[in-house]
Chains A and B, each alone.
Chain A
């Protein structure tokens, strides 16, 4: 390959267009190298953001061929191999307002972040003199989540944000809530968790984009599961998400399998199910996809399954 073609989506505040640039191929270069070279040597009007060049500041997130990357950390060779092409299409991060070219507006996201109180609400155990000490085990709980560099890649790729009207929180905000909720020095985890619940926590669609694309490999989906569990411990069990999760929990315990017939009733309640789902149920019955008369049978070995349940439950109580 002699050249790489860069097709970059441009935006001047009013108009959008695609501009093409070409650079001679050089082995071992990064996305950021290409953007910098284009700006320095071909077109000084191209706008993008970057700062540290060491995957620490998080300012150079950009989309290439439909996927978000940290520009300073991602090698062009990897992209050319992944997409088996010499043409790369650059866009600003998704799910952000665009300011210019590849520059996005962070202000609305930071305003949203305030909802979850992204700061320590300290316990009384520490003091100015002694500080707020943590054991290694306590630090381990926040170690991964504090790696977040606010690059916005998780938000760019989030499947729920792409279809949401603005109520859902960006995964990096959820991560921040988790980070303070589990911090041993914080005295008010509920104050971080409750805003996440109230901002559509259960609407995560499990697309796994955030956890797959995070350049710091933060286990964001595990954090979402943890926060959900904590909301249920707080007594927030009368919502669709919690009831849906418990339907699985109880069905597996009782029969070993999910009962699809009763799942809508367990999730939405009888009244809502009857009100909302009759046309749906009708077309399912007509096609033989559900059988209201089918009764579930417990799987072979169900007693063993229940014993596993019992043991895990006892352990979590102790």
Chain B
């Protein structure tokens, strides 16, 4: 399996641990990730507020770079997935706009054709790699670890763009987590938004949401949150101390990236997956429940 890899901006800085764990996991599973040379930021749902045609063009360029590698485009970020798939859907369904966009791209010597699919690691594991193959690679079953699967919006909504599974009752995270031997916990905020995209203009509200998103899985008995999106991980982890200030209950919840959880099941130790980089220390919970060093 070979993918054109689109890391997204956060993997180069605040979520560098996701880059580390993704590469480790991909390598251990035998998945080839070729990082796109010259990829640009997807715009992260903000660029279209300034110019939606520009957001479309730069993502068309990103997909066109994957087409040059003759490979599907794979991301590990929900919002990148949404932006790239939105661009692809728009262009594939509107040939006139595709032509106009290609005129714009010609100045950068690239052409969007529509030949590369855009997928997310979570989907690729299920659809391309196969859960049985994943299960066969597990060296350290995560038995005893109760996991709250926090999907994040942009891997399920809007359904017409994402479309991998039913947005009202997705099961992909549960399927992967259970293949790793962990137990999925049902909690009320499972499909909630993390609020990351409005953390500046709506700070008070988003902190309220962060507290709720941590408290809900905690009350349901989860040991940790796992998410397929670095933005959700950053919001729930980095801002947890700020969210705690406005909340009487103790909301402390470790938050892992999906590839980190997979990496643990594949036998890597937390430091190899850079789990020690999180603001809320996840290692005591992992030590207690799955016996990591």
Interface residue B49 (Cβ < 8 Å from any Cβ of A): yes
Q: Which of B9, B50, B154 contacts A260 (CB 8 A)?
A: B9
- Interface residue count for B (Cβ, 8 Å)? 65
Within A273-297, the residues touching B (CB, 8 Å) are 279-280, 283-284, 287-291, 294
Q: Cβ of B158 and Cβ of A258 under 8 Å apart?
A: no
Bound together, the chains give a CA A284 to CA B200 distance in angstroms of: 17
Interface residue B258 (Cβ < 8 Å from any Cβ of A): no
Complex interface: chain B residues within 8 A of A268 (CB) = 200
Interface residue B241 (Cβ < 8 Å from any Cβ of A): yes
Known: A159-B195, A225-B48, A258-B9. A205 touches B169 (CB 8 A): no
Q: Cβ of A308 and Cβ of B58 under 8 Å apart?
A: yes
Interface residue B108 (Cβ < 8 Å from any Cβ of A): yes
| Chain A residue, CB-CB nearest to B45 | A206
Interface residue B54 (Cβ < 8 Å from any Cβ of A): yes
Interface residue A316 (Cβ < 8 Å from any Cβ of B): yes
| Chain B residue, CB-CB nearest to A258 | B9
Interface residue B242 (Cβ < 8 Å from any Cβ of A): yes
Q: Cβ of A248 and Cβ of B61 under 8 Å apart?
A: no
Q: How many A-B residue pairs have CB under 8 A?
A: 197
Complex interface: chain B residues within 8 A of A247 (CB) = 46
Shortest CB distance B198–A (Å): 4
Interface residue A311 (Cβ < 8 Å from any Cβ of B): yes
Bound together, the chains give a CA A267 to CA B104 distance in angstroms of: 29
Q: Cβ of A228 and Cβ of B49 under 8 Å apart?
A: yes
Q: Contact string, B146-190, partner A, CB cutoff 8 A, digits 1/0? A: 000000011001110000001111000000000000000000100
| Chain B residue, CB-CB nearest to A279 | B241
Q: Cβ of B46 and Cβ of A244 under 8 Å apart?
A: yes
Complex interface: chain B residues within 8 A of A232 (CB) = 49-50
Q: Cβ of A206 and Cβ of B41 under 8 Å apart?
A: no
Bound together, the chains give a CA A247 to CA B46 distance in angstroms of: 9
Interface residue B63 (Cβ < 8 Å from any Cβ of A): no
| Chain A residue, CB-CB nearest to B241 | A283
Question: What would 30 A/B residue contacts be, using CB atoms closer than 8 Å?
Answer: A163-B208, A163-B212, A205-B193, A205-B195, A206-B154, A207-B157, A208-B158, A209-B153, A209-B157, A211-B158, A222-B52, A228-B49, A240-B200, A245-B50, A248-B44, A251-B41, A252-B43, A258-B9, A280-B242, A284-B238, A284-B279, A287-B278, A289-B279, A291-B13, A304-B110, A305-B58, A308-B105, A308-B107, A312-B51, A312-B53
Binding site for A on B (CB under 8 A): 9-10, 12-16, 37-41, 43-54, 57-58, 61, 82, 103-105, 107-110, 153-154, 157-159, 166-169, 188, 192-193, 195, 197-198, 200-202, 205-206, 208-209, 212, 238-239, 241-242, 277-279
